[in-house]
Structure 1
Amino acid sequence: MNAESDERTGESAADGESELGSRAPDFIKARKTLHLSWQVGVFVVGLAVVGAGVAMLVLPGPGWVVIFGGMAIWATEFVWAQLVLRWTKRKVTEAAQRALDPKVRRRNIILTTIGLVIVALLLGFYLWKYGLVMPWKIND
């Protein structure tokens, strides 16, 4: 059996990850109508949280954190959300390890320094050319 099918069936408990599938209580899973209602409720709550997170991408607030919180709510019931969260966790871990690489850190520090020097030069040129005039002191 390949690793992909193992992951979808939840047989990958050897690597410390929990099984895939619904985490609803057994008495809810035992009744089909109740379980469907439970899934609809989880979906609606997750959708509301993800929607709030998307709104926070343009409004003040921790947008991505809230979106991933909504995905975590969905992951309590839906396998596709569990797979998305596993993939995201793996990619974030890989990115964190890459960011801690000394060569990458050195490159990022150099690029940041160059960017700050360019911004300082542009700001200095603007102030030299136009001076510092407060908006409330502009003459018509």
Structure 2
Amino acid sequence: MVPDSHRLRALRASVAERPTLNLAYRIGVGLLGVVVLAAGIVAIPYPGPGWLIVFAGLGILATEFVWAHRTLRWTRERYRQVMDWYSARGLVVKTLGALLTVAVVLATLWVLGTFGLVDSWLGLDQKWLHGPLA
């Protein structure tokens, strides 16, 4: 029995032999990778897997594009360096980082009108909670 990775390589090779199908495949991979990458970039300041989604998007793109492969390697190395630096810092820097994260999350929730939605559920009628986009 042929391992799955060999089957996938054979399938990709057969797609590559057909120029129109290959172009459509590359466009599809590019679109999917850009959507995943954009979602990851949006998610970075929030608690959760923002950077993981960024790396997944770059990984998808790297399957077809050399520039994405180089960018993925470069970004992973810089991420590792920043995390090593951050881990070596004291409690003050880590606390400031956490407070900055909380501030970014609260600011974006306000801008998007999330607090105004909760305000309307509770019937408080506080206009300042609705944010500029609400």
TM-score, normalisation: structure 2: 0.50
Kindly provide the amino acid, as one letter, of the partner of residue 90 in structure 2.
Answer: I
C-alpha separation in 2, matches of 1:81 and 1:62: 20
Q: Point out the structure with the larger helix share.
A: 2
Are 1:70 and 2:70 matched, yes or no?
Answer: no
Match of residue 109, structure 1, among 90, 100, 104 = 90
Match of residue 40, structure 1, among 27, 43, 56 = 27
Q: State the identity %.
A: 34
C-alpha separation in 2, matches of 1:58 and 1:71: 18
Q: How many residues align?
A: 86
Are 1:49 and 2:30 matched, yes or no?
Answer: no
Q: CA deviation at 1:89?
A: 2.7
Task: Quickly say closer, same or farther: Cα 1:88–1:51, change in 2 above 3 A.
Answer: closer
Runs of 4+ in 1 over 6 A off after TM superposition: none
Task: Quickly say closer, same or farther: Cα 1:96–1:30, change in 2 above 3 A.
Answer: same
C-alpha separation in 2, matches of 1:37 and 1:110: 51
Look up the SS of the partner of 1:38 in the other structure.
helix
C-alpha separation in 2, matches of 1:110 and 1:83: 34
Task: Quickly say closer, same or farther: Cα 1:94–1:48, change in 2 above 3 A.
Answer: closer
Q: CA deviation at 1:55?
A: 3.2
Kindly provide the amino acid, as one letter, of the partner of residue 27 in structure 2.
Answer: V
In the alignment, structure 1 segments of 5+ residues that lack a partner are 1-23, 116-140
C-alpha separation in 1, matches of 2:71 and 2:23: 22
Kindly provide the amino acid, as one letter, of the partner of residue 76 in structure 1.
Answer: T
C-alpha separation in 1, matches of 2:82 and 2:46: 26
Aligned-residue CA RMSD (Å): 3.1
Q: Give the structure with higher Rg (CA).
A: 1
TM-score, normalisation: structure 1: 0.48
